[in-house]
Amino acid sequence: MALEYTLSIIKPDAVRKRLIGQIYSRFEKNALVVVIAKRVRLTREQAENFYNVHKERSFFPQLVAFMSSGPIMVQVLKAESAVSRNREIMGDTDPRRAKPGTLRADFATTIEENAVHGSDSIETAKKEIAFFFPEFSASCKDHPC
Ligand code: GDP
């Protein structure tokens, strides 16, 4: 196992429901360390850029509107196998299919308003961390943060 970093977002639905504390508690119980974080509201354009890989999907306009509909909490998580560990505690994209006890089973409303985002690979994590925290990416080039 290797030490990894991954990008996590608490989406507008979960911020609106005041779930930041409960979700951070799940990170900590699962040894995912929050190493940098910020609360931001994405513009439409920033949401489009972040979800660019989905631009051909039918749900893209809705997804962009949702992700820019209110503040989000964005954090970099550090752990052994952080990418897969975070995906495991998130659960399936569709909360109806998410395993009991996962964040999406417990906190998501629909397949779109599904409480959290997590990078799906180490490569994606690098890009997504640079998107939100360019200074962090630069400072971590030569030493673990
Ligand atoms: P994730 O990696 O589990 O977040 O899932 P994807 O990368 O496939 O999708 C990105 C995000 O798009 C999801 O987390 C949802 O917010 C949204 N999404 C995915 N599939 C659908 C869908 O079928 N309909 C709608 N409205 N939104 C979707």
Q: Has residue 144 got a pLDDT over 70?
A: no
Spatial separation of the C-alpha atoms in residues 140 and 126, rounded to whole Å:
11
Residue whose CA lies nearest to ligand 1 atom number 5: 93
Rg (CA), the chain: 14
Mutation test residue for ligand 1: of 64, 88, 104, 112, the one with most atoms within 8 Å of CB: 112
The predicted pLDDT at position 40 comes to 98
DSSP state at residue 96: T
Active-site residue flag, 117: yes
Is the beta carbon of 120 within 6 A of some atom in ligand 1?
A: yes
Q: Virtual CA dihedral for 81, 87, 90, 94, nearest 10 degrees?
A: -170
Mean pLDDT, residues 96-109: 98
Whether 92 lines ligand 1, by a CB cut-off of 6 Å, is no
Question: How large is the average pLDDT for residues 48-73?
Answer: 98
The kind and range of the H/E element at 27 are helix 20-29
Atom of ligand 1 nearest to the CA of 51: 10
Instruction: Indicate whether 145 pLDDT > 80.
Output: no
Neighbours of 87 (CB within 10 A): 18
